[in-house]
Chains A and B, each alone.
Chain A
Amino acid sequence: MATVQLNTEEIYKLLEDVKDPEIDTVSILDLGMVEDVTVSGQDVSVKMLPTFLGCPALSIIQKNVESALRQLPAVKNVSVEFLRSPSWTSDRITEKGKAGLKVFGISSSSTNEK
Chain B
Amino acid sequence: MKNKSLKNIAIKELLLQLADDDFIHSYRGAEWLGLAPHIEEDVASASISQDTMGHAAIYYKLLEELGEGDADKLAHDRPAKERRNAIILELVNGPGNYMKDPDYDWAFAVVRNYFYTQAKAIKVQSLHSCSYEPLAEVAQKVQMELYYHLMHWKTWFVQLLGSGHLEAVSRMKAAIGKTMPDFAGIFSLGQYGEEMIELGLIESEADLQKKWIEAITPIFESVGLATTIEIGMARGDGRNGQHTEDLEKALKTLSEVYATDKVASW
List chain A positions with a Cβ less than 8 A from chain B.
52-56, 84-85, 87-89, 113-114
Residues of chain B whose beta carbon lies under 8 Å from any beta carbon of chain A? 50-55, 57-58, 134, 137-138, 140-142, 144-145, 147
The distance from the CB of A85 to the nearest CB of chain B, in whole angstroms, is 4
Would you list 25 pairs from A and B whose C-beta atoms are within 8 A, ordered by A residue? Answer: A52-B51, A52-B54, A52-B141, A52-B145, A53-B54, A53-B55, A53-B58, A53-B138, A53-B141, A53-B142, A53-B145, A54-B51, A54-B53, A54-B54, A54-B55, A54-B57, A55-B54, A84-B138, A84-B141, A85-B137, A87-B140, A87-B141, A87-B144, A88-B141, A114-B147
**Residue of B51, B137, B141, B145 with most chain A CB atoms under a 10 A cut-off:** B141
The docked-state distance in angstroms from the alpha carbon of A84 to that of B52 is: 16
Please measure, in the bound complex, the distance between the C-alpha atom of A55 and the C-alpha atom of B53, giving whole angstroms: 10
A88 contacts across to B, CB distance below 8 A:
141
**In the bound complex, CA of A52 to CA of B145 (Å):** 8
Known contacts being A84-B134, A114-B147, is A53 close to B51, with CB within 8 Å?
Answer: yes
Task: Identify the closest chain A residue to B55 (Cβ).
Answer: A53
Q: Residue of B at shortest CB range from A112? A: B148
* Bound-state Cα–Cα, A83 to B100, Å: 42
Closest to A114 in B: B147
Q: Given A84-B134, A84-B138, A85-B137, decide whether A54 and B50 contact each other with a Cβ distance below 8 A.
A: yes
Alpha-carbon distance between A54 and B142 when the two chains are bound, in angstroms = 10
Q: Is the CB of B144 within 8 A of A114?
A: yes
A52 to B149, CA, bound (A): 13
Q: Whole-angstrom distance from the CB of B190 to the nearest CB of chain A?
A: 24
Are B144 and A89 neighbours in the complex by a CB distance under 8 Å? yes
A113 to chain B, nearest CB (A): 7
Contact with B137, one of A52, A84, A89 (Cβ below 8 angstroms):
A84
Q: Across the interface, name the chain A residue whose C-beta is closest to B49.
A: A54
Q: Would you give the shortest CB distance from B5 to chain A, in whole angstroms?
A: 25
Q: In the complex, which residues of chain B have a beta carbon less than 8 angstroms from the beta carbon of A87?
A: 140-141, 144
Docked pose: A85 CA to B58 CA in angstroms: 13
Contact, CB under 8 Å: B57 / A53? yes
A55 CB → nearest B CB, Å: 7
Return chain A residues, CB-CB under 8 Å to B52.
Answer: 54
Considering residues A54, A56, A88, which has the most beta carbons from chain B within 10 angstroms of its beta carbon? Answer: A54
Is there an interface contact between B144 and A85, defined as CB atoms closer than 8 Å? no
Least Cβ–Cβ distance between A82 and chain B, in angstroms: 10
Interchain CA distance A54-B48 in the complex, whole Å: 10
- In the docked arrangement, what's the CA distance between A85 and B145, Å? 15
Q: How far is it, in angstroms, between the C-alpha of A85 and the C-alpha of B134 when the chains are bound? A: 9
